[in-house]
């Protein structure tokens, strides 16, 4: 029995790029359309599938950036870090930047979101937003409620920039400085209130532990007394 010779001249190996384009489009849609928000991380803006080959990239890149919704989480007010990704959206997405949302990190224990550089980073973000709001998006005003007054006020600074966009940046900074001072004040108060709250919880837990310990000791003492009394009764008998 003669087996087929797959190495015959002109014989093409079976693979993704050998099937009809209509079937490839179906495979691409199942592979790249997530159905949920795609969370963007700095340094990785594209899935590995798009780097399979030049032809696959050419056939799928518009689908990936158009048929997904993307979410970028900002840490420590470093909003301009999204710039490389928005460039890709503007180039390949049918909707420009409309399928991208930007939010602040919601983890209040995140070590990356604390430090004295926070407000400096916020001012750098605001200036980049003032220069090109399409390339460096800001925070929406109708989004989720923030956990602290400082973060709530920081969100509102972007609407200040929008309302003053017709003015030179130097004049906008003068107004923003007052907001930055208020944000710093609120953040300090909220931080102190948070620490006091946690200390209060810790004290309550300690008190509760002491009460539980005292109760255990009382129960142990009562049990010992009962045992002693029972032993005396038995000896008298």
**What is the residue range of 214's domain?**
115-228
CA angle, residues 222, 226, 229, in degrees to nearest 5: 140
35 located within any domain:
no
Please tell me the total count of domains within the chain: 1
Residue 101: phi and psi, rounded to 5, are: -120, 145
Per-residue pLDDT of the chain (237 residues; tens, 9 = 90+): 455 555 555 566 778 888 888 999 999 999 998 888 899 887 666 888 888 899 999 999 999 999 999 999 999 999 999 999 999 999 999 988 889 999 888 787 888 777 667 889 999 999 999 999 999 999 987 655 666 778 888 889 999 999 999 999 999 999 999 999 988 888 777 666 654 434 443 444 455 555 555 555 555 555 555 555 544 444 444
Cut 0.75: pTM above it: no
* Site of tokens 């300690």: 206
User: C-alpha 134: how far from its chain's center?
Assistant: 20
Structure token pair of residue 148: 């602290």
Cβ-in-10-Å burial (0-12, 13-18, 19+) of 34 comes to middle
- Residue 158: inside a domain: yes
Residue 47 lies in a domain: no
Inter-residue contact 42 to 81 (CB < 8 Å): yes
């Amino acid at each position: 029995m003669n087996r087929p010779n797959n190495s015959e001249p002109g014989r093409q190996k079976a693979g993704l790029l050998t099937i009809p384009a209509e079937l490839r489009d179906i495979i691409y849609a199942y592979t790249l359309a997530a159905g949920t928000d795609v969370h963007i991380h700095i340094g990785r803006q594209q899935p590995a599938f798009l780097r399979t080959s030049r032809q696959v990239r050419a056939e799928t890149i518009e689908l990936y950036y158009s048929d997904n919704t993307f979410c970028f989480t900002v840490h420590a007010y470093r909003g301009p870090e999204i710039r490389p990704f928005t460039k890709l959206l503007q180039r390949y997405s049918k909707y420009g930047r409309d399928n991208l949302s930007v939010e602040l990190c919601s983890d209040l224990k995140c070590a990356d979101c604390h430090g004295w550089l926070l407000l400096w980073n916020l001012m750098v973000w605001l200036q980049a937003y003032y220069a090109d709001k399409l390339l460096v998006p800001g925070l929406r005003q109708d989004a989720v409620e923030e956990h602290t007054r400082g973060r709530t006020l920081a969100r509102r600074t972007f609407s200040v920039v929008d309302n003053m966009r017709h003015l030179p940046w130097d004049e906008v900074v003068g107004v923003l400085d007052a907001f930055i001072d208020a944000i710093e004040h609120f953040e300090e108060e909220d931080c102190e209130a948070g620490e006091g709250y946690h200390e209060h919880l810790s004290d309550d837990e300690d008190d509760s532990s002491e009460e539980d310990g005292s109760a255990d000791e009382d129960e142990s003492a009562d049990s010992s007394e009962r045992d002693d009394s029972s032993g005396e009764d038995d000896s008298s008998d």
